[in-house]
Amino acid sequence: MNIPQNLLDKVNKRKKDNALRKLPSPSDGIDFASNDYLGFSKSEVIFKQTHDFLVEHHYNQNGATGSRLLSGNHPVYAIAEDFIATFHDAASALLFNSGYDANVGFFSAVPQKGDFILYDELCHASIRDGIQLSHAKAYKFKHNDFEDLELLLERCHVERSRGNLHNEIYIVTESVFSMDGDCPNVEELVQVATKHKAYLVIDEAHALGVFGEKGEGLVQHLGLHTQVFARIMTFGKGLGCHGAVVLGSMELQSYLVNFARSFIYTTGLSPHSVATILTAYQNLDAKAAAIGELKERITFFNQEKSRLSLKPLFVRSKSAIQSAIIPGNATVKAIAQQLQDKGFDVRPILSPTVPAGQERLRFCLHSYNSKEEMTQVLSLLSTFVF
């Protein structure tokens, strides 16, 4: 049976705009596309340690068998959550099945009707989807623009005073933005949140494994984690596995267990999945060398951008995400294909994933990328764009 015509029209419009998404074939090119910043997804050591942990503890179960509130709360959960909470110096850690589940669950459940959510305009789709499911009032502020945020905060205070209300204010951002790779001034943001008695929530998906001596994330690296209401860490990037965690108070954990629908109404992660998360964290704690290598690669990539006069193309970033703005879906796809033909797995990011005119090549850097590979791919880029 064919799909409805109005759906087919939307697909055809994507084709016309050169923006139709398709599942790609696996690439054997030099990796500048994956979020596997430390190479943990391919680590035989982590694979073997996970297996040994399960065997040693006699966990021979393939699935969780149910939601965590029914039959799925197997013992590996408590071991992993305790380790993660200690690693991140948090009172509690609550595992979710994915970063998307964590954000949708948190933002749909925590802000209440009449509360205010002020979020950075470039926040991830999962955050925006969670906000849409909440009953709170939501306003976006210009990207990393805290003057604009202050104006919105004043507006919230006026609305509250008019209604003689005491609704809460939540400020939401990311420590590393997934498409631009840039970071907010977290110190200033904490000051703003404190001044206005707002609850600060920071998604650290692309900071875990990248910032801090042990890859603990940007907020903790800056020593500001005790002043943040909730941190959301996901494991599909620096940890090379799957799942996510919400870090916060014990009271927040209890609230989420009772009210976050994406936590309550889903089958739990398998013992193997949770054991992989635990093992990856243990390796993060022990492998400062790989984190140091990644930082060196990021510094070198930025130096090469300047040397090859490519810096104006790129969004300013000191993270593992480096984006070169090349407007136009057709143009950026063509340049990406040229790089792929030369053996480099670099992917284009098209509109509507990013706004029209902000299409880009997104280079993801890894501890295992050599300096020679970085020089080669940037040199090729310079010949294609100039």
- Kindly state whether residue 70 falls inside one of the protein's structural domains: yes
- Sign of torsion over alpha carbons 292, 295, 300, 303: negative
Which domain does 55 fall in, by range? 45-286
Same structural domain, 275 and 315? no
Instruction: Using the structure block, give the residue that is written with the tokens 């990037």.
Output: 237
Residue where one domain finishes, among candidates 236, 259, 286: 286
**Mean pLDDT of the 332-358 span:** 96
Residue 134: pLDDT band with limits 50, 70, 90: very high
> In the chain, how many domains are there?
2
**Mean pLDDT of the 312-317 span:** 96
**Mean pLDDT of the 194-200 span:** 97
- What pLDDT sits at residue 164? 64
- Kindly state whether residue 1 falls inside one of the protein's structural domains: no
- Kindly state whether residue 131 falls inside one of the protein's structural domains: yes
Q: Which of 3, 71, 38 has the alpha carbon at shortest distance from 235?
A: 38
Residue 320: pLDDT band with limits 50, 70, 90: very high
- What pLDDT sits at residue 1? 81
Identify the three-state secondary structure at position 359: coil
- What pLDDT sits at residue 151? 97
Q: pTM for the full model?
A: 0.95
Same structural domain, 150 and 211? yes
What letter represents residue 317's amino acid?
S
- Kindly state whether residue 19 falls inside one of the protein's structural domains: no
Asked if pLDDT for residue 277 goes beyond 90, the answer is yes
Same structural domain, 232 and 332? no
- What pLDDT sits at residue 286? 80
**Mean pLDDT of the 190-209 span:** 98
Same structural domain, 262 and 346? no
Same structural domain, 201 and 293? no
Tell me the pLDDT of the chain averaged across its residues: 96
Residue where one domain finishes, among candidates 255, 286, 317: 286
Same structural domain, 80 and 190? yes
**Mean pLDDT of the 173-177 span:** 98
Residue where one domain finishes, among candidates 286, 310, 345: 286
Residue 175: pLDDT band with limits 50, 70, 90: very high
Higher pLDDT, 289 or 49: 49
**Mean pLDDT of the 49-69 span:** 96
Q: What is the CATH number of the domain that holds 327?
A: 3.90.1150.10
Q: What is the CATH number of the domain that holds 139?
A: 3.40.640.10
Same structural domain, 294 and 275? no
- What pLDDT sits at residue 2? 87
Q: Which letter, b or e, does each residue of 220-233 get, where b requires 16 or more Cβ atoms within 10 Å of its Cβ?
A: bbeebbebbbbbbb
Same structural domain, 88 and 100? yes
Same structural domain, 234 and 359? no
**Mean pLDDT of the 291-311 span:** 96
- Kindly state whether residue 152 falls inside one of the protein's structural domains: yes
- What pLDDT sits at residue 289? 86
Helix axes 75-87 and 271-286, enclosed angle (nearest 10): 30
Asked if pLDDT for residue 189 goes beyond 90, the answer is yes
Residue 285: pLDDT band with limits 50, 70, 90: confident
- What pLDDT sits at residue 26? 86
Same structural domain, 161 and 304? no
Residue 91: pLDDT band with limits 50, 70, 90: very high
- Kindly state whether residue 14 falls inside one of the protein's structural domains: no
User: Do β-strands 199-203 and 230-234 pair in parallel, antiparallel, or remain unpaired?
Assistant: parallel
Same structural domain, 226 and 335? no
- In contact, 129 and 103? CB cutoff 8 Å: yes
Length of the chain: 386
- Which whole-number Å values give the CA distances from 94 to 106, 178, 219, 225, 282, in the listed order? 11, 23, 18, 16, 17
Higher pLDDT, 323 or 17: 323
- Kindly state whether residue 177 falls inside one of the protein's structural domains: yes
Same structural domain, 271 and 333? no
- Kindly state whether residue 23 falls inside one of the protein's structural domains: no
